[in-house]
Structure 1
Amino acid sequence: MDYKLNQCSHSDPIPYNNQFFCKLCGIHLPSDGNIPIKSAKFSFPAHLNPIQNLQSQWVRQVPVVQFPSDYLKQRLSLIDYIIEWSEKLSLSINSLFLAVQFLDYFVSSKNSDPLQYRLYAATCLMLAAKTIELDEKIPFISKLRRYTYLPYPTQDFRKCECQIIKSFNWNLQYTTIIDWAETALSLGIVYEQDELSQSESILKERTTNIIQLNLNQQNKQDLKEQTESNHKLSTKNIYIKVQEQFTKICLTILKDGSYLNKDPSQLTLSLIGCVRKICGFKQSLPQCLLSLYDNIQPKFQDSIVDLLSKQTKQPISVVGKAFTNDLDFFSLQNYKNRVL
Structure 2
Amino acid sequence: MTENAMLDGKVILVTGAGGGIGRDIALMAGAHGARVVVNDIGAALDGRGEDKGPAERVVEEIRSAGGTAVASLDSVAEPEGAQRIVSVALDAFGRLDGIVNNAGILRDAFFHKMSLEEWDRVLKVHLYGSFNVSRAAAPIFKEQQSGSLVHMTSTSGLIGNLAQANYSAAKLGLVGLSKSIALDMRRFGVRSNCIAPFAWSRMISSIKVDSPEQQERVARLQQMTPAKVAPLAVYLLSDRADSVTGQIFCVRNNEILLFSQPRPVRSVQREQGWTPEQIADHAMPALSASFHELDVSSDVFTWDPV
TM-score, normalising length: structure 2: 0.28
More strand as a share of residues? 2
Larger Rg: 1
Greater relative contact order structure (CA < 8 Å, 6+ sep)? 1
TM-score, normalising length: structure 1: 0.26
